[in-house]
Amino acid sequence: MRRLLSLLISVFALAALPALAATPPQPKRGEPATAVFAGGCFWCMEHDMQGVPGVLKVESGYTGGHVNKPRYEDVTRETSGHYESVRVTYDPAKLDYGFLLYRYWKLVDPTDDGGQFCDRGPSYRPAVFVNGPEQRKIAEKSRAEAATRLKTGKMVTPILDLKTFWPAEEYHRDYAKRHTLNYQAYRMGCGRDLRLKQVWGG
């Protein structure tokens, strides 16, 4: 459903890929930090992460694959190895990585390794991409704790090393804000929120 809608939109969009932003080093005190997550539709992940206090920016993109400068069409063909993902830039003085992970788990179905909700295929799988041993240690602890809170299923979401994050095309950015009605129709039709209640309760 979302793929068809996005492909129709892309016909009318100038999908110029921005210059590659290199993976940043570990932040010093007072500098912004980054975290990368895959959780199915990056429109939804971008929207849901933007509301977290301390988050400065959320970018949709692609990571985890073998194709350089991937485009949306490359990723949806499921031949690039990339995941749809988001890069979250945040202020570590106001928000720590552990809390971002806590928020992440509540936004995904970590028991599903075949995609997320109505979006199926490898590019829609959930994953945490870590930038170094410190993030990995925190992520592994967070995953173990999240597994104990599941109301159904078994934790299968991997923690993977981050290599390169490729920003998505312009027409994908802030999609929920710029195309509110289309976004709401997609999200409801995909059953995302209903499934999250089943997985996490509430």
**pLDDT exceeds cutoff 60 at 201:** yes
Mean of the per-residue pLDDT values of the chain: 89
Give the neighbor-by-neighbor strand order of the sheet with 166-167.
159-161, 126-130, 33-39, 83-90, 55-63, 166-167
pLDDT at 23 (0 to 100): 40
Q: What is the pTM of this model?
A: 0.85
Banded pLDDT at 16 (limits 50, 70, 90): very low
pLDDT at 76 (0 to 100): 95
Report the distance separating Cα 58 and Cα 7, nearest Å: 22
Closest among 34, 32, 46 to 91, alpha carbons compared: 32
Report the distance separating Cα 124 and Cα 80, nearest Å: 12
- Bridge-based pairing state of the strands 159-161 and 126-130: parallel
Dihedral angle sign, alpha carbons of residues 145, 146, 152, 156: negative
Residues acting as catalytic residues: 41
**Which is more confidently placed, 22 or 30?**
30
SS (H, E, C) 104-137: HHHHCCCCCCCEECCEECHHHCEEEEECCHHHHH
CB 130 within 8 A of CB 159: yes
**pLDDT exceeds cutoff 50 at 15:** no
| Structural domains in the chain, sorted by start | 2-6+31-200 (3.30.1060.10)
